[in-house]
């Protein structure tokens, strides 16, 4: 382990399935200790996905305990977490029910009514930066009021996952602009809660946390017996997981990122406010003061792993060739917007092998991400200087650039995922050495607060975006056309769009 050169900070990533904690040297970015504890989400009725927030808190404590003495020596901490989740708390700060998670899409009917009530998709995009999907918190609150009015009536505070954990640390109800921008009730122009949207869903702004400015402290760690953090340590604002990963990579405007996790995402930092009326691109704020146009899919590594399990194959046991197409929309889908969809397998022949079917699942998942990439870049400011022009026509998947895609998330370490992205994008791919960019981004936020620096500049100094580059290969046009034709021709088989 290298000698410690600066104060220690803690970065936390509370994701859908587990909590990760990193203790980092604020001067060098060296990870001096790490911990991880599971808190898997549970399925509810229909398309429901829920988790008891207490499990997040217990997993945080366990991950910190695994870090040992360095966690207790940390001078600052920041929490990043999965976006969009609805945490409803009573007057004592206890959850009135399990949290509704980002991939709970039971609120699709409420989403449709809300979009119409405010004047349609273009009005939402202009007002909040995004056309809400059934993932957004505003739709979940509308669902809760309609289906569980007693729980809604008992709610004294509404929080996002990172808000909940930060408030447990500090005792103060706060959030940040990045995570708040994914709720659907935060107006991007004045950067405040939108009273008209809140009125549509019957939510009092007094139940929501205070939105902190970038670089503002959420408070300090309280004296919490059993939690291995020093009382009085600074607590940064925290943010959503995608915003934290952008910090951890030290992104400059226009650098494209493709995330392969439970969900998939493509995004880039932008200096201008995005507003995509098609709803493909969410116009999120970032954690620094810029913007983070992003497209997200619900079905990524978890869905492909499920297909591998059904086939009785290792996730890397793919085979080339064949005509099979598999659209792995096992949880419905957000991009394209098909909340009622299920998986679809077509193009089978007598000679189709299990390995080709598994490769088709990878192709279907990656296709959804790459078709959104051009729109993400077009919605922002194009690609970084020297990286070429932004995408051509929306939905082509061709951004017209030779710049490497930064490939992150658990899937980025998988050969089958990496090679599928290369083959379908025709672009070089860089896999940053930052194995946990969201946790590192939270650590950079904590370090920026402690050192009074820009957290993205801190992360760039740490060099976490460095990593091997895999050169471009010619795009597999036959596979691209095959998946695109299957998606376009599926029509009513996949549910409403």
In angstroms, the CA 455 to CA 126 distance is 29
Contact 48, 115 (CB under 8 A): no
In angstroms, the CA 215 to CA 209 distance is 17
Contact 299, 336 (CB under 8 A): no
Report DSSP state, residue 410.
G
Residues 6+ apart with CB under 8 A from 491: none
Residue 59, φ and ψ in degrees, nearest 5: -65, -35
Residue 375, φ and ψ in degrees, nearest 5: -70, -35
Residues 6+ apart with CB under 8 A from 92: none
In angstroms, the CA 161 to CA 474 distance is 41
Contact 61, 47 (CB under 8 A): no
In angstroms, the CA 3 to CA 1 distance is 7
Active site residue 340: no
In angstroms, the CA 89 to CA 158 distance is 6
Q: How far is CA 262 from CA 15, 295, 440, in A?
A: 9, 14, 19
**Three-state SS sequence of 260-300:** ECCCEEEECCECCCCCCCCCCCEEEECCCCCEEEEEEECCC
**Catalytically annotated residue among 13, 241, 276, 331:** 241
The torsion defined by the Cα of 83, 85, 87 and 88, in degrees rounded to 10, comes to 130
In angstroms, the CA 493 to CA 491 distance is 5
Report DSSP state, residue 207.
G
Q: Which helix (H) or strand (E) holds 240?
A: strand 239-240
Report the catalytic residues: 241
């Amino acid at each position: 382990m290298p000698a410690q050169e600066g104060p220690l900070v803690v970065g936390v990533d509370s994701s859908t399935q587990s909590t990760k904690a990193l203790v980092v040297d604020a001067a060098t970015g060296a990870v001096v200790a790490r911990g991880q504890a599971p808190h898997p989400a549970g399925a509810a009725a229909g398309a429901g996905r829920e988790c008891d927030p207490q499990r997040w808190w217990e997993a945080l404590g366990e991950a910190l305990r695994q870090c040992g003495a360095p966690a207790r020596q940390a001078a600052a901490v920041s929490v990043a977490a999965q976006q969009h989740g609805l945490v409803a708390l009573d007057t004592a700060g206890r959850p009135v029910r399990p949290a509704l998670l980002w991939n709970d899409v039971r609120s699709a009917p409420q989403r449709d009514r809300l979009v119409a009530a405010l004047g349609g998709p273009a009005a939402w995009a202009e007002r909040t930066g995004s056309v809400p999907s059934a993932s957004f918190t505003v739709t979940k609150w509308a669902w809760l009021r309609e289906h569980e009015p007693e729980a809604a009536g008992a709610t004294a505070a509404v929080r996002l996952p990172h808000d909940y954990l930060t408030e447990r640390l500090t005792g103060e109800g706060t959030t940040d602009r990045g995570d708040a921008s994914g709720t659907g009730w935060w107006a991007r122009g004045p950067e405040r809660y939108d009273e008209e949207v809140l009125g549509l869903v019957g939510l009092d702004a007094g139940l929501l946390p205070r939105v902190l400015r970038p670089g503002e402290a959420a408070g300090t760690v309280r004296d919490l017996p059993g939690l291995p953090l020093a009382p009085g340590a600074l607590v940064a604002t925290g943010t959503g997981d995608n915003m934290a990963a952008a910090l951890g990579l030290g992104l400059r405007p226009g650098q494209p990122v493709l995330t392969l996790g439970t969900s998939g995402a493509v995004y880039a930092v932008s200096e201008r406010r995005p507003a995509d009326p098609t709803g493909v691109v969410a116009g999120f704020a970032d954690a620094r003061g810029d913007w983070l146009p992003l497209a997200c899919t619900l079905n990524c590594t978890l869905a492909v792993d499920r297909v591998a399990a059904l086939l009785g194959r290792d996730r890397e046991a793919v085979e080339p060739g064949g005509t099979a197409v598999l659209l792995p929309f096992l949880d419905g889908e957000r991009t394209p917007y098909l909340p009622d969809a299920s998986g679809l397998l077509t193009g089978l022949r007598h000679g189709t092998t299990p390995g080709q079917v598994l490769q088709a699942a990878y192709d279907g998942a990656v296709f959804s991400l790459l078709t959104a990439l051009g729109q993400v870049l077009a919605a922002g400011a194009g690609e970084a200087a020297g990286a070429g022009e932004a995408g051509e026509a929306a939905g082509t998947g061709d951004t017209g650039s030779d710049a490497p895609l930064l490939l992150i998330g658990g899937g980025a370490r998988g050969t089958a995922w990496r090679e599928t992205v290369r083959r379908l994008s025709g672009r070089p791919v860089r896999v940053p050495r930052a194995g946990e960019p969201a946790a590192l981004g939270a650590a950079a936020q904590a370090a920026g607060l402690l050192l009074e620096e820009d957290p993205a500049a801190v992360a760039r100094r740490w060099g976490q975006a460095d990593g091997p580059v895999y050169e471009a290969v010619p795009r597999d046009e036959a596979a691209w056309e095959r998946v695109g034709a299957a998606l376009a021709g599926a029509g009513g088989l996949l549910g409403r769009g």
